[in-house]
Structure 1
Amino acid sequence: MGIGNRAVTDADDRLRGNNSINNVVAGTGVGDELKGYEGNDTLFGYAGNDTLDGGSDHDILMGGAGRDTLTGGTGSDIFRFVTANEGIDTITDFTSGTDKIEVVSPNFGNLSVGTLDLDRFLSTDATQTNANSVFLYDNGTGLLRFDRDGYGNAAPVQIASLIGNRNLNYSDIQIVAA
């Protein structure tokens, strides 16, 4: 069923976009299932443990609060995180060099807008040598964490887990303004 732009407001909804247009699909309940199909879709899970599937083409997926499962599908997709404390999302089909992880600057240490700087991306076996905000990634486990104060007192916060293809580079992370 073609739905255009729609939002759901109660628990455990299933909402699917049209097969040929660009949809904005949003859930606000608990445990929503959102699917975009064809078109350049934008899916917002908001609260709850949601399942978002962009389908084909170039999609933007934002799980929001909860432990969400995000699948971009074919095409270059953006997995957007507004804060580091939204919950740990599982990204099922990230493709390095094609897909992007996008974070909002003020909520991620006021990092410079654009592609993440190389010195702000560390593998988990690297040693943090300053108090800068950094992303920590483990290619073996697929765990992506954010550390807002480097070697300071705050512990890193896990924001995502990549399953399947676990390749991730600093250039796959984009910083955007609020």
Structure 2
Amino acid sequence: MLVGGAGNDKFYGGYGNDKLTGLGGADVFVFNTKLGTAKTDRKVNFDTITDFKPREDKIWLDNKIFTKLGKKGTEASPAKLNKKFFKFGTKAGDKDDYVIYDKKTGILSYDADGSGAKAAIEIAKLAKNLKLTYHDFAIV
């Protein structure tokens, strides 16, 4: 379990399944480790963010892992996620739906081939019914 303080914290969940709690401030949660597969998705690097606050906190996705997200930002200058790459639901609806948030379960997934044959990989659990937008994500 990783717990931040009242200020702005940056969390690297790293390998394993972690529980991340930012507490106060504008926190950043960095996903930069190898993903599982559709069969092992919750067993490999699946983190729970207990208190993500949309429009205040951010989720940074490393382009070396999340290779379909286009722009290559850096931690010093994160690139914005393209609006068409973010979707609500349980699976991709078209070829550009790479980052998927299921409001009913709070599960955040990455689908490397959009609506292609490969299944999405679950990467994190957030609270249910968050008002997430593509603005809550960046590529580093």
TM-score range, shorter chain: 0.7 to 0.9
Instruction: Name the SS for the 2:64 alignment partner.
Output: helix
Kindly report which structure 2 residues correspond to 1:1-178, keeping only aligned pairs within 5 A, or say none: 51-83=1-33, 85=35, 86-111=44-69, 112=71, 113=73, 114-124=79-89, 128-130=93-95, 132=96, 134-163=98-127, 166-176=130-140
| Percent identity for Structure 1 against Structure 2 | 38
Q: Between the two structures, name the one with larger relative contact order (CA 8 Å, sep ≥ 6).
A: 2
Structure number with the higher strand fraction is: 1
Residue type at the aligned position of 1:174: A
Gaps of 5+ in 1: 1-50
Displacement, 1:153?
A: 2.2
Specify the code of the residue in structure 1 equivalent to 2:8: H
- 1:125: Cα distance to partner? 5.8
**What's the counterpart of residue 38 of structure 2?**
none
Structure 2: which amino acid aligns with 1:70?
Answer: L
Deviation at 1:105, TM superposition (A): 1.0
Structure 2, unpaired ranges of 5+: 36-43, 74-78
Return the letter of the residue paired with 1:88.
F
Q: Structure 1 residues 125, 103: closer, same or farther in 2, change over 3 A? A: closer
Could you tell me how far 1:165 is from its partner in structure 2?
A: 6.8
Whole-angstrom CA distance in 1 between matches of 2:25 and 2:58: 11
Aligned-residue Cα RMSD (Å) equals 1.9
Closer/same/farther in 2, CA of residues 170 and 84 from structure 1, 3 Å limit:
farther
Q: 1:60 offset after TM fit, Å?
A: 0.3
* TM-score, length-scaled by structure 2: 0.81
Q: Runs of 4 or more off by more than 6 Å in structure 1?
A: none
TM-score, normalised to structure 1's length? Answer: 0.64
Q: Distance in 2 between matches of 1:104 and 1:97?
A: 20
